[in-house]
Amino acid sequence: MEGRPVQDSQSTLSELALPNDANGLGTLLGGKIMHLVDIAGAIAAGRHSRQFVVTASFDHMDFLEPVWMGELVTLHASVNRAFRTSMEVGVKVFAEDLRTSTTRHVASAYLTFVALDGDRNPLPVPPVIPEGPEQERRFEEAGERREHRLSLLRKRRAAQGS
């Protein structure tokens, strides 16, 4: 299967932080941010695999700063690395104050998606072709994170079996 460059998977999603999705302090709910991260990540994984994808794990999420009601939330996602049937996607979340054009990095996440066929069976996905030092670094780190995820999964399964 022929590989695809990271840029083929890149996705950008923007949404205004509205009162319906805010808490009593006027900040966007963390669950809403996670929902947007999942959507942006699925778009990137779908672009890379050119298949329907499902979320296999929401690996790591850091909330760095609050998103205030009325700010524009923009998410940038791309596939860091593809494995046999799964892909790790990195998502960065930014908030922009439209009055001042000030943009802040407010959250980051790593997710794993699996490509599925019409019968909901996992499908092989094309490898990622990293271009440049930053993409190479993300590619290598994705492999390390995968090993850590699988190690934790084995430990959880062993604990459940005892």
pLDDT tens digits, 33-45: 999 999 999 999 9
Which helix (H) or strand (E) covers residue 131, if one does? none
Per-residue pLDDT tens over the stretch 56-114: 999 889 999 999 999 999 999 999 999 999 999 999 999 999 999 999 999 999 999 99
Residues 6+ apart with CB under 8 A from 148: none
Phi and psi, residue 118, nearest 5°: -65, -20
For residue 162, name the pLDDT band (cuts at 50, 70, 90). Answer: low
What are the domain boundaries of the chain?
Answer: 4-161
The domain 4-161 is placed in CATH, from the list 2.170.190.11, 3.40.1280.10, 3.40.50.300, 3.10.129.10, at 3.10.129.10
DSSP state of 129: E
Tokens read off for 154: 């084995």
